Amino acid sequence: MNIALIAHDKKKDDMVRFVMAYEEILKNHTLFGTGTTGQKIMESTNLKVHRFQSGPLGGDQEIGAMIANNRMDVVLFFRDPLTAQPHEPDVSALIRLCDVYLVPLATNMGTAEVIIKGLERGDLSWREIIAKRNGEVNE
């Protein structure tokens, strides 16, 4: 499956800890990330992350474009709700698109844990049906 990993600055350490804890599951999937989050994950793990632009420079929108094409199956987005972001409209747009396309979205680590365990159990295999219907092959 295609999984997006995104974290605001104050949540990046949490994201790195999270992917280290679940590296064995995540390595079986295709990972995408905003620029700095992806970089930090690759520095701390053996995971390969396809990196987009940094969030404030359009990375959220690039991931949004994948969602709009039904090419993203899971979004793990550790938001910082206590810091104003210069690209807040992009953040809102990304979250909105997850709702438009029924893409499982976690905006904090608690929900991310539930999703990742569901992923391991096969709870999200219905996403593969959507991918097949779209003529795409997800890993």
Stretch that binds ligand 13P, among 23-31, 53-61, 105-113, 127-135 (CB under 6 A): 53-61
**What is the total count of residues that contact ligand 13P (CB under 6 A)?**
12
Q: Does 107 bind ligand 13P (CB under 6 A)?
A: no
Which residue, 119, 93, 95, is CA-closest to 105? 95
Q: Does 34 bind ligand 13P (CB under 6 A)?
A: yes
Yes or no: say if 108 and 79 are a contact pair by the CB < 8 Å rule.
Answer: yes
- CA distances in angstroms from 43 to 37, 46, 86, listed in the order given: 10, 8, 26
- Binding positions are 8, 12, 34-37, 54-55, 87
Strands of the sheet containing 49-51, edge to edge, are 49-51, 30-33, 2-7, 74-78, 105-106
* Least distance from ligand 13P to the Cβ atom of residue 92, Å: 10
Q: Does 60 bind ligand 13P (CB under 6 A)?
A: yes
Q: 51: which 2 tokens?
A: 């990196």
What are the catalytic residues?
60
* Least distance from ligand 13P to the Cβ atom of residue 67, Å: 14
The three-class DSSP label of residue 47 is coil
Strand partners, 4: 32, 75
Q: Does 104 bind ligand 13P (CB under 6 A)?
A: no
- Binding positions for substrate are 8, 12, 34-37, 54-55, 87
Name the site residues for ligand 13P (rule: CB under 6 A): 6, 8, 34-37, 54-56, 59-60, 91
